[in-house]
Amino acid sequence: MDHLSGKTALVTGGGTGIGRAIALALASQGADVAVVNRSNIEAARDVASEIEKLGRRSLALQADVSSPSDAENIVSQVLTSFGRLDILVNNAGTTRDTLLLRMSEADWDVVIDTNLKGVFLVTKAALKPMVKQRQGKIINISSVMGLIGSAGQTNYCASKAGVIGFTRSLAKEVGARNIQVNAVAPGFIETAMTHDMKDGQRDQILKNIPAGRFGTVDDVAKTVIFLASQSSDYITGQTLTVDGGLTV
């Protein structure tokens, strides 16, 4: 089923992990997809070439979402290459975990700048063409940690909770322009980060997940496809948790 034929998408942090799965899922549903990565441009190029194998157009862009000029630049490159921008997925994210008393100002700033300011900057740039088109889907990747909190992650949880407030507020600003703004809050997803956990720590977490398993990157990508498609046109300002029931 080509749900998203003729649509164009931009996925930040799309070269690895969850963002990679989202970029490939959007392409498999028919969208042309631009993939942004900060440092690992090779990863973004690999994803772009997989997208092209699916018969879609693709772009691999190296940019820092926390830089205002980079944010403007990636959106203008998408418009130059694809002519329009229908779907923005703000997925780029980072962590600098440590207890608050040990947290440096730099640990705080890099996480807030990437996870929260980056969402503001890229969304602001992407909103202009969406307003002109009178159509758009903005999907922000938050985290269940932004809802329930997590010791050692005050910077990360503040940024992810901030993304939820941003999502609700922007949904109210642009709802009448046929632009839907939603967030996805993944729980524990099998990625490089969770693979590095010790077995005891994994078992402890699994006890609290009713589904009895960690999530996959595809579990998150499928939710993003729903929020990017017309099936969700009357849903805006929401945060969908994809956590196997962890937060119930």
Residue ranges binding ligand NAD (CB under 6 A)? 12-13, 15-19, 36-40, 64-66, 91-94, 114, 118, 141, 143, 186, 188-189, 191, 193-194
Q: CA–CA separation, 222 vs 12, rounded Å?
A: 17
Annotated catalytic residue 234: no
Min. distance of Cβ 151 from ligand NAD in angstroms?
16
Nearer to ligand NAD, 175 or 211 (CB): 211
Q: Catalytic residue, from 156, 166, 188, 214: name it.
A: 156
Min. distance of Cβ 189 from ligand NAD in angstroms?
4
Structure tokens at 82: 């694809």
Nearer to ligand NAD, 1 or 105 (CB): 105
Sheet holding 239-242, edge to edge: 58-62, 32-37, 8-12, 87-90, 136-141, 179-186, 239-242
Contact (CB, 8 A) for 64 and 40: no
How far does CA 163 lie from the centroid of its chain?
Answer: 11
Adjacent-strand bridge partners of 36: 12, 61
Which of 183, 247, 242 is CA-nearest to residue 215?
Answer: 242
Which of 185, 11, 176 is CA-nearest to residue 89?
Answer: 11
- Secondary structure element (H or E) that encloses residue 138, with its range: strand 136-141
Nearer to ligand NAD, 172 or 202 (CB): 202
Min. distance of Cβ 218 from ligand NAD in angstroms?
12
Min. distance of Cβ 6 from ligand NAD in angstroms?
27
Residues with catalytic annotation?
Answer: 156
